[in-house]
A and B are shown apart, each in its own frame.
Chain A
Amino acid sequence: MTHSLLQQVAAGNANAVPELIDRYGGLVWSLARRLSLSQADAEDAVQEVFADLWKSAARFDETVASEATFIAMIARRRLIDRRRRAARQPSTFEVRDDLDGSVERITPERRAELTEEASKAAKAIETLRPEQQRVLRLSIYHGLSHERIAEATGLPLGTVKTHARRGLMAVREILGAQRPGEVEAKP
């Protein structure tokens, strides 16, 4: 039976560590560069992300998410926490957001490389109106607060909150999570 790299790390297999860093280092580094305030901050953040990853490896469940999505989740949590602690968001000027960020622009080659979850997310996002897509992109991809998105887009704050939350919840449901209020029935 083949075990995932995270499962191997959790089981104490030294060989899996460099392979895991090589395979997902680019993913974590890209996230850190985007969501950090400087190159030095990104370098510090990446080290913290991998420290978190070693501790969290045993929680990985391949029936719930792919390794890439799980690792991206761990990385985002750390990066968002660091940005919060630094009490600073990127200014609107620092966020270069344009139509190139539309999911319709994903090349066929890149689409084929996407994880199953990201592929489903892309399809879900494609069903949203451009305005909704942009709010979701500014919220999730750029990590802007609702207030900052309202400033940047000119949309009412309530509309921004609705677009951001509903977009995320829609993808969550497509990925198979229980709907709010639902719990597994106990036998």
Chain B
Amino acid sequence: MTRGDGPHIERLSELLADRAAHGLAPGDAAELDRLLAKSPEFDAESFDLAAAAIDQAFAAAASGGQTPHAMPAPLRDRIEAAAIETFARADDGRERHQRGHARSSDARATAATPRHQEPRDGVNPRIAWWGWLAAAAAVAIATLGWMRDTGSTAATPTGVRASVLAASDHVQWSWTPWAAKPASEGGIEFPAQASTGDVCWSTTAQAGVMRFVGLPKNNPGELQYQLWIIDPAQKHPIDGGVFNVDSGGEVLVTINPKIRVSNAAAFAITAEKPGGVVVSDQTKRVVIAAPPPPTGKG
């Protein structure tokens, strides 16, 4: 080991300690960048690791013997879905690179065919990302092919709706006003009583379209509508994404669930903050669509 003699080392350590503890103001961050440029070999990350270790020690003390709370299940599902998407993009990027960025005219056949992948870094995964994604891609490609077979190649809401309605397993349910939660529980009446329309969905295609007539226009900077798909196979409603209504007439919105829907039992709309939420407190219930009650035989 040799000891460096730069006069800036003490200041560098101070700034790294401050950054690891609570971050730096822009001026200090710029100073840190300059100092690190002078000492590129300096082990800067060790300060952050030390802070993380101290944090864990204090957290253990503050927990009173309790283990950390698990994160909410819907949040966990969203993170897992986002991970799939992230790795899908990376995988696609690698594949494009391997093909010399050539656009393939037979993408359908390629995506549906499992690709060979060498184990990386000595790891021989049971199921690698590509396998998982190939399965998802196969479903997507099959859906597109099925849409072509039914005469609609346009991925517009109108085209998707026509394709979904042509599917043998489709459901089509009407929207009805969703009774507000009691005011004592924070519920707010949402002015959607005059809204009509329906939702159609095909589980095989994992596709659907919502049709609204008379749903109040929203200011996206203040609130957005958010779809929830109730699936008994899931512990929590599936996040179907946010959307806006900018027209007083008929509005069609394609459904984009974050995870696969196994058995849609109902579709519900809430009004949420811009960008949506992971878990809705249902303060502003809007409309809901569910199977009509069975007509009993006496």
Contacts and interface: CB of A to CB of B under 8 A. Distances in A.
Partners in one complex: yes
Contacts of A64: 49
Contacts of A144: 22
B296 interface: no
Nearest to B2: A185
Contacts of B6: 181
B249 to A, nearest CB: 33
Contact of A180 (B10, B58, B65, B120): B10
Interface string B105-140: 000000000000101111101111111100000000
A69 interface: yes
B60 A114 contact: yes
A29 B273 CA distance: 21
B70 A29 contact: yes
Interface centre among B83, B87, B130 (most CB of A within 10 A): B83
Contact of B56 (A34, A102, A114, A167): A114
Contact of B52 (A50, A76, A113, A136): A76
Contacts of B132: 14
Interface stretch (B11-19, B182-190, B199-207, B222-230): B11-19
B61 A105 contact: yes
B18 A120 contact: no
A46 B71 contact: yes
B46 A178 contact: yes
A62 interface: no
Contact of B49 (A30, A46, A70, A101): A70
Interface string B48-92: 111111111111111111011111100110111011001100000
Contacts of B63: 110
Contacts of A83: 23
Interface in A103-147: 103-107, 109-111, 113-115, 117-122, 125, 136-137, 139-141, 143-146
A100 B62 contact: yes
Contact of A181 (B4, B48, B76, B279): B4
Nearest to A80: B23
Interface string A28-58: 1111011000001001001100110010000
Interface in B126-167: 126-132
B2 to A, nearest CB: 5
B125 A100 contact: no
A14 B49 contact: no
A168 B54 contact: yes
B48 A106 contact: no
Contacts of B279: 43
A47 B17 contact: no
B277 interface: yes
B125 A168 contact: no
Contact of A31 (B55, B67, B127): B55
A141 B59 contact: yes
Given A30-B68, A164-B21, A17 B83 contact: yes
Given A47-B78, A81-B23, A29 B120 contact: no
B18 A11 contact: no
Contact of B130 (A12, A54, A70): A12
Contacts of A70: 49, 52
A168 B51 contact: yes
Contacts of A14: 87, 125, 127-129, 131-132
A20 to B, nearest CB: 9
Nearest to A144: B22
A161 B17 CA distance: 10
B130 A118 contact: no
A120 B55 CA distance: 12
Contacts of A76: 20, 48, 51-52, 55
A81 to B, nearest CB: 7
Contacts of A177: 43, 46-47, 49-50
Interface of B: 1-6, 9-10, 12-14, 17-18, 20-23, 41-43, 45-65, 67-72, 75-76, 78-80, 82-83, 86-87, 117, 119-123, 125-132, 273, 277-279
Given A107-B64, A181-B3, 8 more contacts: A30-B59, A43-B277, A103-B60, A103-B61, A105-B64, A140-B55, A141-B58, A178-B43
